[in-house]
Amino acid sequence: MPMSDEPDAYQTYVLRLWRAKCEGQWQWRGSLESRRTGERQVFAGLRQLFVFLSERCEEQDRETRGRGEEETRGVGEAGSK
Please tell me the total count of domains within the chain.
Answer: 1
Q: Is 68 strand, coil or helix?
A: helix
State how far the Cα of 77 lies from the Cα of 60, in Å rounded to an integer.
26
Q: Domain residues for 40? A: 13-72
Mean pLDDT of 18-47: 96
* Res. 64 pLDDT band, cuts 50 70 90: confident
Report if residue 36 sits inside a domain. Answer: yes
Lowest mean pLDDT among 38-42, 44-48, 71-75: 71-75
Is the residue at 68 inside a domain?
yes
Q: Does 59 map to a domain?
A: yes
User: Is residue 4 situated within a structural domain?
Assistant: no
pLDDT of 8 reads: 63
pLDDT band, very low/low/confident/very high, at 80 (cuts 50, 70, 90): very low
The pTM assigned to this predicted structure is 0.68
Helices (H), the chain: 46-79
* HSE-CB of 79 using CA atoms within 13 angstroms: 6
CA 22 vs CA 15, 16, 37: distances in Å: 21, 18, 31
